[in-house]
Chain A
């Protein structure tokens, strides 16, 4: 099943909407709550990243019985050094964003921790694409 969500850069007030929707869907699909938590935590981080850094973005979630694959494509400044961005505590967030409780530099490491696979590609001044993959129903299948 495929679900799509639009994300508006700078709109912190509604950040987390896609994560909440996906969470609701996964609960209705009877996905194990530990898996749901990993997916939602990683997705929320990724969603907030788009809001905090990009102009706009699109989230496409592909759900099947063995995995949840989420693609986040944004138009924005891009990440010049992905390896550096992956380090804990590294952040380019503005002081304004930090004041709102975001931008602690935990986003990408936290996303990696909560997913089975994560791929980031980025072109400076064009945008960033993040793919999050979480395997589900591993014990039953």
Chain B
């Protein structure tokens, strides 16, 4: 059975979209078309990788997050912060200053997402050991990758590690901590500061989980600006209040970076970042051209979360800073239970282990031309003959990313062949189409404005 549609955090702002082809041509799942002069995202195909947002020349693609004011709907306001946030700032701003500023902004507590990776690490090692011969186990860390596997590599859904990512584990711990202190769950707001769109989408419609313990999501670039402004205006306050939390482990700080999961895991582990690299690899893995791998860490962004679409700093500098921070910290293997605070996640370990599993990740293939195979074969034949008629220029002027995508849209009744400029030209030459007809087709794809002559121009 296939799951229902995904929630998407990536939205096109029609007031800003100028109707170009940048997003459409870079989308790794061909999820974008242009209609009426605006980019349209096809929900079933989008995996929330954010490639479109990165490439939009006019910032018309944005990530819909929660209103910051929403945090004040709650008496207890916890900022759930990924370690990668601390890598966004210049070296002279300390982690303590960053988190103190968050408190000044209105949060009542700051908690780092990667607390609890030691619990996940143990569970993940067990999961891999119990998964043979169905190896490699593919990490469930990056939600864009989990969705990519669902839509493009249905056979590999069975390889996804059915364990919650650190974000959900930390949120579970916080919920338990406050419940144990007698706080009603409606009074606790847990807000995640996200480096990407995929995490928001995963929280709003979790894959393999029934509900999310996270109340809201705030974009990292937005929070970065607020923190930086506060630090710049208030100066470097040495006496700033450091939220009382255990320091992260070395593995915790590194977890969201490339090799962060793969290097502390056992067996033959591989880390691959950037979505095209991941697609290439998964193609081979699906053919069983690659074997003997135990664990795969796959991330949609180059340099993993340091390269998240909402990360502000240069990703290589962020990685450098995080590595420096990690070097001064205790490794998971050196943790001393007696030195942990009374809020330590270690005290929730049993509870977390009982709730760490997620349900099966179901395939939701977007590649099929039709549900019915006989019908799909008919459509494939039609597509192949259409492809012969199309120019193979992949110009995007038809509003689809490639000639093949247009041909597939046509056989599925979602587009017409006359959307192709070359075909139109042939039809006009043959007297089958007049100028007015051609104009109305162009307008249906690119909107009315693009054919109008600007007053200042003499062309």
Chain A residues in the interface with B (C-beta under 8 A): 1, 16, 19-20, 23-25, 27-31, 33-34, 36-37, 40-41, 44, 63-65, 136-137
Contact = CB atoms under 8 A, between A and B. Distances in A.
Interface in B354-383: 363, 365, 367-374, 376-377, 380-381
A29 B287 contact: no
B289 interface: yes
A16 B284 contact: yes
A23 B286 contact: yes
Given A20-B283, A27-B365, A27-B368, A33 B377 contact: no
A30 B287 contact: no
A29 B377 contact: yes
B155 interface: yes
Contacts of A136: 373
Given A1-B380, A44-B289, A29 B284 contact: no
B154 interface: yes
13 contacts: A23-B286, A23-B287, A27-B154, A28-B369, A30-B369, A30-B370, A31-B373, A33-B363, A41-B288, A44-B288, A44-B289, A65-B373, A137-B373
A31 B373 CA distance: 7
A30 B380 contact: no
A47 to B, nearest CB: 10
A33 B155 contact: yes
Given A23-B286, A41-B288, A44-B288, A30 B155 contact: no
A58 to B, nearest CB: 20
Contacts of A33: 154-155, 363, 365
B374 A34 contact: no
The residue among B368, B372, B373 with the most chain A CB atoms within 10 A of its own CB is B373
Contact of B368 (A20, A29, A41, A137): A29
A52 to B, nearest CB: 14
The residue among B287, B374, B377, B381 with the most chain A CB atoms within 10 A of its own CB is B287
A41 B288 CA distance: 6
Contacts of B376: 28-30
Contacts of B367: 24, 27-28
A40 B287 contact: yes
A1 B286 contact: no
Nearest to A140: B373
The residue among A19, A27, A34 with the most chain B CB atoms within 10 A of its own CB is A27
Contacts of A24: 367
B373 A16 contact: no
Given A63-B377, A65-B373, A65-B374, A30 B368 contact: yes
List the 8 shortest-distance A-B pairs measured between CB atoms, nearest first. A30-B368, A33-B155, A33-B154, A27-B367, A29-B376, A37-B155, A41-B288, A65-B373
B399 to A, nearest CB: 21
Given A30-B365, A30-B372, A33-B363, A1 B287 contact: no
Interface string B250-292: 0000000000000000000000000000000001101111000
A60 B140 CA distance: 38
A36 B363 CA distance: 14
The residue among A23, A36, A37, A64 with the most chain B CB atoms within 10 A of its own CB is A37
Interface string B322-363: 000000000000000000000000000000000000000001
Contacts of B380: 1, 25, 28-29
Given A27-B365, A27-B367, A30-B371, A65 B288 contact: no
A1 B373 CA distance: 12
Nearest to B155: A33
B381 A1 contact: yes
The residue among A29, A65, A136 with the most chain B CB atoms within 10 A of its own CB is A29
A36 B156 CA distance: 12
A19 B285 CA distance: 12
Contacts of B372: 30
A68 B381 CA distance: 17
Nearest to A35: B155
Contacts of B284: 16
Nearest to B369: A28
A24 B373 CA distance: 14
B154 A1 contact: no
B374 to A, nearest CB: 5
Given A24-B367, A40-B288, A65-B373, 9 more contacts: A29-B376, A30-B368, A30-B369, A30-B376, A36-B155, A37-B286, A37-B288, A44-B287, A64-B377
A45 B380 CA distance: 26
Contacts of A40: 286-288
A30 B376 CA distance: 7
